[in-house]
């Protein structure tokens, strides 16, 4: 990897922790927990990652998460991600977890959240990576199930900064979760939502108007609606864009056709993220590198993306300023 990209201080704001589970660890956890996987080897798992749309990916992703049983499993998965993030000079992470993927298989909410949180604390203390945790509701399940999940999260609210919305987008618009998000905000959670990945610009509008989100996850389809672009620009609503994910799931056919440079040119607050790095072919550094090479971004564009990643985070203004100063110092030293 280009050392300039590798060493550029950055934050990652759109990463599903279950999507960081590498085949090697999946295989190891299956053995440790005596779970039968439909694959005989790590190579077979990797070979199964042949999807070209969101739903095919999600089917494999939910199956893979079935190896996670104990608090230590969630710890090990999260720790492995943090070590990868460290290698890409990620200084701050805001990661998603999908509790329903686990509670629906009989794993306690406490087991999931405690394992992840413990690894995040150790990552802060040992790797110097600050963190926030975001609970995602699975939008293909009911609003009632989401509300029940929110209630399970209330005892852990000190550990969970925000709630989000992921899984199959089309047919499950943000409005379906209006009451759940109202309750979440009343309980003190910030909100985000996946919108405008496979779904239309109207879903982005709904996420803003009905869910009052602080950021839009993906949001790349906003360019189909000029008034929406103007609104996103005016309010500087961050978009957490995931370039390699978008290519793998065929939101764009090739990286050269990705609209990230257009989003930036329209004045939008764009960030670069990995989404599900084990499944989509690269961690956050590889995503920066893909857009740098595929779209011919200049170093100053990469610096803007890194600066945006901290400014779009849920850190305090003071912490944001300190990280942005790190980015500026890094850029100045190398210009």
Q: Binding to ligand HPA by residue 54, rule CB under 6 A?
A: yes
Q: Binding to ligand HPA by residue 111, rule CB under 6 A?
A: no
CA 25, 306, 57 angle in degrees (round to 5)? 40
Q: Binding to ligand HPA by residue 12, rule CB under 6 A?
A: no
* Token code pair at residue 233: 């620009």
Q: Minimal distance in Å, beta carbon 199 to ligand HPA?
A: 10
- 197 belongs to the catalytic site: yes
Q: Which is nearer to ligand HPA, 243 or 294 (CB)?
A: 243
Q: Binding to Zn ion by residue 73, rule CB under 5 A?
A: no
Q: Binding to ligand HPA by residue 276, rule CB under 6 A?
A: yes
Beta bridge partners of 164: 136
Kindly state the number of chain residues that form the binding site for ligand HPA, as judged by CB under 6 A: 10
Q: Which is nearer to ligand HPA, 91 or 221 (CB)?
A: 221
Residue 19: name its binding partner from Zn ion, ligand HPA, none (Cβ under 5 to 8 Å by kind).
Answer: ligand HPA
8 Å CB contact between 49 and 58: no
Site for ligand HPA in 173-212 (CB under 6 A): 194, 197
Residue 54: name its binding partner from ligand HPA, Zn ion, none (Cβ under 5 to 8 Å by kind).
Answer: ligand HPA
Identify how many contiguous H helices and E strands the chain contains and give both numbers.
17, 8
Q: Binding to ligand HPA by residue 16, rule CB under 6 A?
A: yes
Own/partner pairs, 125-129, CB within 8 angstroms, 24+ separation: 127/82, 127/83, 127/85, 127/86, 128/91, 129/82, 129/85, 129/86, 129/90, 129/91, 129/92, 129/93
Q: Binding to Zn ion by residue 275, rule CB under 5 A?
A: yes
8 Å CB contact between 149 and 156: no
Q: Which of 12, 22, 169, 197 is catalytic?
A: 197
Residue 191: name its binding partner from Zn ion, ligand HPA, none (Cβ under 5 to 8 Å by kind).
Answer: none
Q: Where are the alpha helices (DSSP H) in 131-271?
A: 143-153, 178-186, 201-209, 226-234, 243-248, 260-265
Q: Binding to ligand HPA by residue 167, rule CB under 6 A?
A: yes
The gap from C-alpha 49 to its chain's centroid, in whole angstroms, comes to 19
Q: Minimal distance in Å, beta carbon 260 to Zn ion?
A: 16
Phi, psi of 307 (to 5 degrees): -60, -45
Q: Minimal distance in Å, beta carbon 247 to Zn ion?
A: 14
8 Å CB contact between 275 and 19: yes
Q: Minimal distance in Å, beta carbon 194 to Zn ion?
A: 5
Q: Residues near 315 by Cβ (< 8 Å), separated by ≥ 6?
A: 92, 130, 132, 323
Q: Kindly list the residues in this chain that would bind Zn ion in the complex (CB under 5 A).
A: 275
Q: Kindly list the residues in this chain that would bind ligand HPA in the complex (CB under 6 A).
A: 16, 19, 54, 166-167, 194, 197, 245, 275-276
**Residues marked as catalytic:** 197
């Amino acid at each position: 990897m280009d050392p300039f990209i590798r060493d550029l201080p950055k934050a990652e704001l759109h990463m599903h922790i279950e999507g960081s589970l590498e085949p090697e660890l999946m295989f190891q956890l299956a053995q440790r927990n005596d779970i039968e996987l439909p694959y005989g080897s790590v190579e077979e798992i990797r070979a199964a990652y042949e999807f070209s749309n969101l739903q095919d990916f999600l089917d494999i992703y939910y199956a893979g998460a079935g190896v996670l049983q104990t608090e230590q499993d969630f710890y090990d998965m999260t720790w492995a991600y943090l070590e990868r993030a460290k290698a890409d000079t990620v200084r701050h992470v805001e990661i998603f977890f999908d509790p329903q993927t686990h509670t629906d298989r009989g794993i306690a909410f406490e087991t999931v959240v405690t394992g992840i949180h413990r690894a995040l604390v150790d990552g802060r203390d040992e790797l110097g990576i600050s963190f926030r945790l975001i609970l995602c509701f699975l939008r293909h399940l009911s609003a009632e199930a989401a509300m029940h999940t929110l209630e399970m999260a209330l005892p852990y609210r000190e550990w969970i900064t925000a709630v989000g919305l992921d899984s199959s987008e089309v047919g499950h618009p943000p409005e379906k979760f209006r009451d759940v998000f109202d309750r979440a905000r009343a309980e003190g959670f910030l909100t985000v939502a996946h919108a405008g990945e496979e779904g239309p610009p109207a879903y982005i509008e709904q996420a803003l108007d009905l869910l009052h989100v602080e950021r839009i996850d993906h949001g790349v389809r906003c360019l189909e609606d000029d008034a929406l672009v103007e609104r996103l620009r005016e309010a500087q609503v961050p978009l957490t864009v995931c370039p390699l994910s978008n290519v793998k799931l065929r939101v764009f056919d090739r990286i050269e056709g990705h609209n990230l440079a257009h989003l930036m040119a329209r004045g939008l607050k764009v960030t670069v993220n990995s989404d599900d790095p084990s499944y989509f072919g690269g961690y956050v550094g590889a995503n920066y590198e893909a857009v740098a090479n595929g779209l011919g971004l200049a170093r100053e564009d990469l610096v803007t993306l890194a600066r945006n990643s901290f400014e779009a985070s849920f850190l305090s203004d003071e912490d944001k300023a300190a990280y942005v100063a790190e980015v500026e110092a890094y850029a100045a030293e190398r210009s």
